[in-house]
Amino acid sequence: MTPFRTHNGTVAPLDRANVDTDQIIPKQFLKRIERTGFGEFLFYDWRFLPSGEPDSSFVLNERRYRGASILVAGKNFGCGSSREHAPWALADYGFCAVIAPSFADIFANNCMKNGLLPVTLGEEEVAAVIENARTIDNYELTVDLERRTVTDGRGFSASFAIDDFQRHCLMEGLDDIGLTLLCEADITAYERTRCELIG
Amino acid sequence: MPRTLFEKIWDAHVVRKPEDQPTLLYIDLHLVHEVTSPQAFEGLRVANRRVRRPDLTVATVDHNVPTTDRSLPIADPIGAKQINTLRQNCHDFGIQLFDIDSAEQGIVHVIGPELGLTQPGMTIVCGDSHTSTHGAFGTLAFGIGTSEVEHVLATQCLPQNKPRTMLIDVCSALPEGVTAKDLALGIIGRIGTDGATGHVIEYAGDAVRELSMEGRMTLCNMSIEAGARAGMIAPDETTFAYLQGRRFAPQGAAWTEAQDYWKALQSDNDATFDRKVELNASALEPHVTWGTSPGMVVPVTGCVPDPAAAKSDADRRASERALEYMALTPRTRIQDIHVDRVFIGSCTNARIEDLRAAARIVKGYQTNRSVNAMVVPGSQAVKRAAESEGLDRIFRDSGFEWREAGCSMCLGMNADILQPGERCASTSNRNFEGRQGRGGRTHLVSPMMAAAAAITGHFTDVREWKFK
């Protein structure tokens, strides 16, 4: 996994609550057996009209948000299906961080495994970021994982909470399967006692 | 110290609890399907890792399989490749697969319990959010992403932070015509689709105790729709009666021993929960969703709400957007909403009891001329059971299609999808935009409510149904 320490990029606002993973990556793209190449299908039904033409009214199709690498959205982002294709699609499209007032558990977990940082800020802070991203051209934020801060160099500054261990894994780009495999002796010992317990 | 059911199961599965790190939790059963596993197996190959416990891993194909004639080749080449990939992976890594032609094939959350694989006290994971279904047996069961699927394949463990606990206590009894699905929708309507985020729900109370295993599975299944990590119900005689004699359930002396262990799996009387919610089942009505999130739900006697009455600006905009997508106007009576399609199926409501309840409504009636209705049994075993009871004849005679088992139109990965603009009464779990097909409009209901809508062509209060 690519380490995440700090990221600076332009912000795209998606002012909707309960954005579910079916919207992030619709089902027809889940049949692929690869981990890559999902970016072109991100928010497919919102980005493209039934004809296949881009829908100019969708925020990510606005010229000014092309190249945005930070997405800011409403509460309960990533709810619904556990499909990891959702963070794969967001990351493949070019997003490095998603800012929202809250995230669905499985989605947030999936993001962490892919170097995509879910940043939880307060509702008012998120509203401010959305407003700035709408009104200021090329509005940029810096997400600093080490300091747990989001700043814009114009006076906006917010801090966020994140589990220490997950932060450590993200910053070091650690393979957590490798870490668990180091506990082989513990796992074997557990299996032995569990066998005795349940026969 | 008194502990909750969840805490007892959690504690029994701690492999390691390092300082300042998540707990390493042992996983007793890993269920695998074709959609969320290929990249995980590929990851194992790239890292030259093996599957640690193929004997605790079971696979089936359900998400993208066609529900039409199984003797024909799969028409969709990409779908077929995904299924073939699972076959190859199960072969290479020594995992038992209930393949498309197996008599035991079905939706992963239907066949686990049906085969007796799901047992009280276990930890169960699957790369599918509706893994919460298995919590009906007093197991800790939760959905995971593909990276975690790979993690469990390689180590049989998962590093996890301990979730918080929530008790949902439902007193009294569900009235006639009001089902576990209505209870689930009622709960989500009350606490919201993120009401249980970060929590494991334990459902308790007389109304929950009275539920059959099928009803309990429906209730636990929908826990994820309230944002919960998992939902669970303490095992009791209903649980044991369901499990006894099933293929992978303990037999003989092992059964008696297992039962003794399972009986201890109750929350202690004075155990504390981080949150408590109380509901009275007797006040519940059949529910129908009107919007694009399961929390957008009202009783069948109600009306489509007016966004102007929303609690917040964000809620108002979400409601307006949902109504636009659903092509509904505020204050429309729910029973005046007409449907084009009816789908009875999914891991929420495609078990034998669901099909019996729907068939009881349908019997002696014809589906409305403007409605296209289908029944997709949750598993081949459910299909056989229904056919042996003659339920398939009742459905077919009234104009329903009778299909092979799979996830089908719950998520529309196969050919079973809504056309743009079509309105569907569905027994599934998600009414998200486009979930059942781009532009499709989904209303979540119980199997009885779906069956009644198929006959009348619009939502109908099943409490007033004239059975034939």
Average pLDDT over residues B393-421: 96
Percent of chain B surpassing pLDDT 70: 100
Using an 8 Å CB-CB cutoff, list chain A residues near B197: 76, 102, 104-105
Rounded to whole angstroms, what are the CA distances from B29 to A146, A151, B139? 37, 44, 10
Between chains, do B129 and A81 touch, taking CB under 8 Å as contact?
Answer: yes
Q: Do residues B183 and B203 lie in contact, with contact meaning Cβ atoms separated by under 8 Å?
A: no
Between chains, do B412 and A27 touch, taking CB under 8 Å as contact?
Answer: yes
List CB contacts of B393: < 8 A, sequence separation 6 or more: none
What's the CA gap between A32 and B163, in Å, rounded? Answer: 32
DSSP code per residue over A24-88: HS-GGGTT---SS--GGGTTHHHHB-TTSSB-TTSGGGSGGGTT--EEEE-SSBTBS---THHHH
Distance from CA of A52 to the nearest CA of B (A): 13
Q: Do residues B459 and B302 lie in contact, with contact meaning Cβ atoms separated by under 8 Å?
A: no
DSSP code per residue over B19-65: TTS-EEEE-SEEEE-TTTSHHHHHHHHHTT---S-GGGEEEE--SS-
What mean pLDDT, rounded, does chain B reach? 97
B78 DSSP 8-state letter: H
Which one, of A63, A61, A64, A31, lies nearest residue A44 by Cα?
Answer: A61
Angle at B107 between CA B102 and CA B113, to 5 degrees: 90
* Closest chain B residue to A188, measured at CA: B15
Which one, of A41, A25, A34, A90, lies nearest residue B38 by Cα?
Answer: A34
Residues A86-132: tens digit of each pLDDT: 999 999 999 999 999 999 999 999 999 999 999 999 999 999 999 99
Using an 8 Å CB-CB cutoff, list chain A residues near B146: 35, 84, 110
Residues B159-179: tens digit of each pLDDT: 999 999 999 999 999 999 999
Which one, of B351, B375, B349, lies nearest residue B362 by Cα?
Answer: B375
Rounded to a whole number of angstroms, the CA Rg of chain B reads: 21
Confidence grade of residue B193 (pLDDT, cut at 50, 70, 90): very high
| Tokens standing for residue A106 | 């499985």
Between chains, do A82 and B127 touch, taking CB under 8 Å as contact?
Answer: yes
What's the CA gap between B151 and B51, in Å, rounded? Answer: 10
Which one, of B410, B353, B317, lies nearest residue B214 by Cα?
Answer: B353
Scanning B356-415 for CB atoms below 8 A from A yields 411-413
Residues B322-350: tens digit of each pLDDT: 999 999 999 999 999 999 999 999 999 99
* Closest chain B residue to A168, measured at CA: B21
* A72: three-class secondary structure by DSSP: strand
pLDDT at B302: 98
Distance from CA of A138 to the nearest CA of B (A): 25
Does residue B40 carry a pLDDT above 60? yes
Between chains, do A106 and B143 touch, taking CB under 8 Å as contact?
Answer: yes
| Tokens standing for residue B310 | 């929303």
Number of Cβ within a 10 Å radius of residue B21: 17
Using an 8 Å CB-CB cutoff, list chain B residues near A15: 317
Between chains, do A79 and B24 touch, taking CB under 8 Å as contact?
Answer: no
Using an 8 Å CB-CB cutoff, list chain A residues near B156: 187, 191
Does residue A172 carry a pLDDT above 50? yes
Which one, of B3, B65, B10, B28, lies nearest residue B248 by Cα?
Answer: B28
Does residue B437 carry a pLDDT above 70? yes
What's the CA gap between B411 and B422, in Å, rounded? Answer: 15
Using an 8 Å CB-CB cutoff, list chain A residues near B75: none
Confidence grade of residue A195 (pLDDT, cut at 50, 70, 90): low
Distance from CA of A63 to the nearest CA of B (A): 24
Point out the residue among B42, B156, B198 whose CB comes nearest to the CB of A105: B198
- Look-up: residue for tokens 């905009």? B317
Using an 8 Å CB-CB cutoff, list chain B residues near A18: 193-194, 293, 318
Between chains, do A84 and B151 touch, taking CB under 8 Å as contact?
Answer: no
SS3 per residue for B337-403 = CECCEEEECCCCCCCHHHHHHHHHHHCCCCCCCCCEEEECCCEHHHHHHHHHCCHHHHHHHHCCEEC
Q: Do residues B130 and B429 lie in contact, with contact meaning Cβ atoms separated by under 8 Å?
A: yes
Using an 8 Å CB-CB cutoff, list chain B residues near A104: 194, 197, 227
Point out the residue among A105, A114, A179 whose CB comes nearest to the CB of B229: A105
* Closest chain B residue to A34, measured at CA: B39
Does residue B198 carry a pLDDT above 60? yes
Which one, of A82, A92, A69, lies nearest residue A11 by Cα?
Answer: A69
Scanning B49-78 for CB atoms below 8 A from A yields 49, 52, 63-64, 76, 78
| Tokens standing for residue A190 | 């557990």
Which residues are registered as beta bridge partners of B30?
A: B57, B125
Point out the residue among B147, B156, B434 whose CB comes nearest to the CB of A113: B147
Q: Is the dihedral of CA B142, A186, A190, A178 positive or negative?
A: positive
Distance from CA of B387 to the nearest CA of A (A): 31
Does residue A199 carry a pLDDT above 50? no
Give the ipTM of the model, two decimals please.
0.96
Q: Do residues B456 and B399 lie in contact, with contact meaning Cβ atoms separated by under 8 Å?
A: no
Percent of chain B surpassing pLDDT 90: 98
Does residue A197 carry a pLDDT above 70? no
Does residue A198 carry a pLDDT above 60? no
Does residue A196 carry a pLDDT above 80? no
Point out the residue among B85, B159, B197 whose CB comes nearest to the CB of A33: B85
Task: Count Cα atoms within 13 angstroms, Cβ side, for B429.
Answer: 32
Q: Do residues B83 and B74 lie in contact, with contact meaning Cβ atoms separated by under 8 Å?
A: yes
Confidence grade of residue A60 (pLDDT, cut at 50, 70, 90): very high
- Residue type at A58? F
* Closest chain B residue to A28, measured at CA: B413
Average pLDDT over residues B202-210: 98
What mean pLDDT, rounded, does chain A reach? 95
Between chains, do B35 and A31 touch, taking CB under 8 Å as contact?
Answer: yes
Number of Cβ within a 10 Å radius of residue A131: 14
* Closest chain B residue to A106, measured at CA: B144
Helix (H) or strand (E) holding B157: strand B157-160
- Residue type at B218? T
Average pLDDT over residues B383-412: 97
- Look-up: residue for tokens 């072109």? A40
Average pLDDT over residues B354-381: 98
Residues B138-151: tens digit of each pLDDT: 999 999 999 999 99
Number of Cβ within a 10 Å radius of residue B404: 18
Distance from CA of A144 to the nearest CA of B (A): 21
Q: Do residues B353 and B212 lie in contact, with contact meaning Cβ atoms separated by under 8 Å?
A: yes
pLDDT at B21: 92
B152 DSSP 8-state letter: H
